[in-house]
Amino acid sequence: MQDNLIIGGHAFTSRLLLGTGKFTLDKMLSVIENGGAQIVTVALRRANAGGEGNILDYIPDGITLMPNTSGARTAAEAVRIARLSREMGCGDFIKIEIIPDTKYLMPDNIETLKATEILANEGFVVLPYMNPDLNVARQLVNAGAAAVMPLGAPIGSNKGLRTKELLSILIAEIEKPVIVDAGIGRPSQACEAMEMGADAVLVNTAVASAKHPHEMALAFKKAVEAGREAFLAGAGRVLATQAEASSPLTGFVE
Amino acid sequence: MLTQSLTSDIHVMDRVLADYHAVDFSSCTDEDVLEALSAQTTSIRDFAALLSPCAGKYLEQMAAKAKALTEQYFGVNKCLYTPLYIANYCVNHCSYCGFNCTNKIHRAKLTMEEIEQEAQAISSTGLREILLLTGESRFHSDVEYIGEAVKIMRRYFNTIGLEVYPMDVSEYEYLHSLGADYVSVYQETYDRDVYDKVHISGPKKVYDYRFNALERAIQGGMRGGGLGALLGLSDFRRDAFGSGLHAYWLQKKYPAAELSFSVPRLRPYVNNDDNQSGVGDRDFLQVILAYRIFMPFMGFSLSSRENAAFRDNCAALAPTKISAGVKTGVGGHSEEEKGDVQFKTSDERSVDEIYNALLKRGLQPVFNDYVYIIDAV
């Protein structure tokens, strides 16, 4: 049986989503190809329609574009950017990024929820970037989000799955795809997220800041595939390090 | 509301000046510098250590850290922009500036037709970001004149910044509504006594009004702003410290504001070839790196006051924004400059030349990194 990632009714075989914002444009093609990515996110603010160095011109055909609302600080701004994105022919996928904090770049869950509601009603395939809060994740899904995209660590930090406990709760409880976005710095961390049962991961800085980005993209592809296969295979029980209790706790029943 | 602060009890100027006066760079030791270099987040104390004379021998380590942080936050992207001087009339007498009202230079003010021609010429080079400048003269370049220029810029550029005289909140609101979204106001020096001495006459003499201008710009709806000290007017370490603190407390008070450092050094100007900063390249680079390490998330622009070699070598270490095709006289992009220059530029390369120089270094020149959503209320 085909193991597809389904987002907003679209099926994808790749579970590695790539960001495009941090390397030179001439590396784009080899990174996307090596990573086997079928979905890439692009900041709409980087678009330069009809002008030079337009990032959109560098995305290969056949790739599903997931424009993001980078630069938005409120729901109103994110909604405006999403509509612009659609007008520019960037499709219906939209990753909501609402960041009213320049220092830590933390997403604003409350504004994100508001924007999700509006954009889902307008027929967008809404993918909200969020702090991994279970209650907000549920509300986002109720509001029409096609997936949730919780952060593993502060964006760009390469620190790995610092929010692991919270991510595992979302993975267990949220029926829509859980895509771990932000913070993943190494293939082993991407693999771990997938082993935990995340539906996909999104990586940008880890690839862009590697000495050889296209080779790192390949490493991530393999890691994500390995993690997914391990998850599907059902990892064995981890043995407890403590000895069993000496007198049985259940000896009182026959 | 973004224009309101969540921590409105912060009095930015008081906080800045308290540390500005208290700092003692001579007491910073090697240990302090090493601690600052290994810290996860850079404290105000660490920042002082990085600016101290003692940190001078750790320039290489500072550069490595600054480069890694710049890449972490901004990748290899370098946004390109150019300044457009639309008028050079000025009522201020500032001892260090070529536009000062006593300097016998050719004064000019562009008409709207001329501004449009300049906009056309600049946008044909591929640039999508413009910084509009005037001298300080509410008579020759009033807010309405600047507003009309902003309206023209709106048709040719995505990002519009202003480097004009400080204004009231309502005036910033007005210019913001027309499409300007960034405001630069440099305090020049944070030392009140020196400030008073070098600003001999004119409205710029009022230290506090200038200091608080960025806050008013943010309250007026501007997305962000640029700040910095003009290095060489006073003790450059202390002034660099002052503008770092200014950014630090502004960001604390307005976490959404997109702030950006600039690091101008004194430059010679018409009728004053001796206007040198006395800040050597090593010290200057140390300031740039200290800023970057202290506030790794902030924008950073490196102007054409610096020469091509310095800018090219520095590009990967801290800047996020680099000017290209620069003229500091009035106009000059579509035809001859109509008024004399504010200072003598050191890097006169065209947009194409800078574009290619960046690419050669594995950096990505970026023409647009902004979406116009001012009407999204």
- CB within 8 Å of B42: residues ≥ 6 apart: B36, B50, B293, B294, B295, B296
Q: Contact A74/B126, CB-based, under 8 Å?
A: no
The verdict on A229 touching B (C-beta cutoff 8 Å) is no
Q: Contact A44/B371, CB-based, under 8 Å?
A: yes
Cα–Cα dist B231/B262, whole Å:
10
Cα–Cα dist B213/B199, whole Å:
17
Delimit the domains of chain B by residue range: 12-366
Neighbour-count burial of B274, counting CB atoms closer than 10 A to its CB (0-12 exposed, 13-18 middle, 19+ buried): exposed
Query: Residue B93: helix, strand or coil by DSSP?
Result: strand
DSSP 8-state class, residue B320: S
Of the pLDDT bands very low, low, confident and very high (cuts 50, 70, 90), residue A226 is very high
- CB within 8 Å of B265: residues ≥ 6 apart: B230, B231, B232, B277, B279, B284, B305, B306
Cα–Cα dist B36/B65, whole Å:
11
A34-48, A140-154, A185-199, B271-285: range with lowest mean pLDDT: B271-285
The verdict on A159 touching B (C-beta cutoff 8 Å) is no
Provide the pLDDT for residue B376.
55
Cα–Cα dist B87/B134, whole Å:
5
Q: Contact A158/B72, CB-based, under 8 Å?
A: yes
**Residue recorded with tokens 């480097």:** B163
Residue of B125, B320, B369, B370 to mutate for A, most A C-beta atoms under 10 A: B369
Contact B350, B358 (CB under 8 A): no
Provide the pLDDT for residue B105.
83
- Residues of B with CB below 8 A from A51's CB? 126, 128, 367-368
Provide the pLDDT for residue B271.
65
Of A44, A80, A100, the CB nearest to B255: A100
- What letter represents residue A250's amino acid? T
Cα–Cα dist B354/B14, whole Å:
41
Contact B240, B231 (CB under 8 A): yes
Provide the pLDDT for residue A108.
96
Query: Residue B116: helix, strand or coil by DSSP?
Result: helix
Token representation of residue B110 = 């562009």
Q: Contact B297/A74, CB-based, under 8 Å?
A: no
The verdict on A74 touching B (C-beta cutoff 8 Å) is yes
Q: Contact A81/B370, CB-based, under 8 Å?
A: no
Residue A96: pLDDT over 80: yes
The pLDDT > 90 percentage for chain A reads 71
- CB within 8 Å of A36: residues ≥ 6 apart: A14, A16, A221
pTM assigned to the model: 0.90
Neighbour-count burial of B8, counting CB atoms closer than 10 A to its CB (0-12 exposed, 13-18 middle, 19+ buried): exposed
Provide the pLDDT for residue A135.
97
Q: A8-12, A46-50, B329-333: which has the highest mean pLDDT? A: A8-12
Task: Tell me the catalytic residues of A.
Answer: 95
| A24 closest CA partner among A165, A209, A224 | A209
Residues in chain B: 377
From residue B32, alpha-carbon distances to A251, B39, B95, B218 in Å are: 63, 10, 37, 35
Q: Are strands A39-43 and A64-68 parallel, antiparallel or unpaired?
A: parallel
A113-127, A218-232, B7-21: range with lowest mean pLDDT: B7-21
| A14 closest CA partner among A246, A213, A206, A177 | A177
Contact B142, B118 (CB under 8 A): no
Token representation of residue B87 = 């008028």
Contact B346, B307 (CB under 8 A): yes
Under the phi-then-psi rule, with left for phi > 0, alpha for psi from -120 to 50, and beta for the rest, what region is A240?
beta
- Residues of B with CB below 8 A from A25's CB? 364
Query: Residue B66: helix, strand or coil by DSSP?
Result: helix
Q: Contact B367/A51, CB-based, under 8 Å?
A: yes
Provide the pLDDT for residue B5.
64
| B174 closest CA partner among B203, B197, B142, B139 | B142
DSSP 8-state class, residue B96: T
**How many other C-beta atoms are found inside a 10 Å radius of the C-beta of residue B53?**
12
**Shortest Cα distance from A208 to chain B (angstroms)?**
7
- CB within 8 Å of B185: residues ≥ 6 apart: B163, B166, B210, B213, B214, B217, B225, B226, B227
- Residues of B with CB below 8 A from A162's CB? none
**How many other C-beta atoms are found inside a 10 Å radius of the C-beta of residue B142?**
13
Tens place of pLDDT per residue across chain B (377 aa): 565 566 678 899 999 999 999 999 999 999 999 999 999 889 999 999 999 999 999 999 999 999 999 999 999 999 999 999 999 888 888 888 888 888 888 888 999 999 999 999 999 999 999 999 999 999 999 999 999 999 999 999 999 999 999 999 999 999 999 999 999 999 999 999 999 999 999 999 999 999 999 999 999 999 999 999 999 899 999 999 999 999 999 999 999 999 999 998 887 666 666 666 678 899 999 999 999 999 999 999 998 888 899 999 999 999 999 999 998 888 888 877 777 777 777 888 999 999 999 999 999 999 999 998 886 54
The full set of domains in chain A, from first to last, is: 5-233 (3.20.20.70)
Q: Show which residues on chain B lie within 8 Å of chain A, measured between beta carbons.
A: 2, 71-77, 126, 128, 158, 251, 255-259, 297-298, 359, 362-371, 373, 375-377
Q: What is the mean pLDDT of residues A9-14?
A: 95
- Residues of B with CB below 8 A from A100's CB? 2, 255-256
Closest residue in A to B129 (Cα) is A48
Cα–Cα dist B83/B347, whole Å:
13
Say what the ipTM of the complex is.
Answer: 0.85
CATH no., domain B12-366: 3.20.20.70
The verdict on A110 touching B (C-beta cutoff 8 Å) is no
Q: Are strands B330-331 and B337-339 parallel, antiparallel or unpaired?
A: antiparallel
- Residues of A with CB below 8 A from B258's CB? 102
Cα–Cα dist A158/A186, whole Å:
7
Cα–Cα dist B253/B245, whole Å:
12
Q: Contact B71/A73, CB-based, under 8 Å?
A: no
Q: Contact B76/A79, CB-based, under 8 Å?
A: no
Q: Count chain A–chain B contacts defined by CB atoms under 8 A.
A: 92
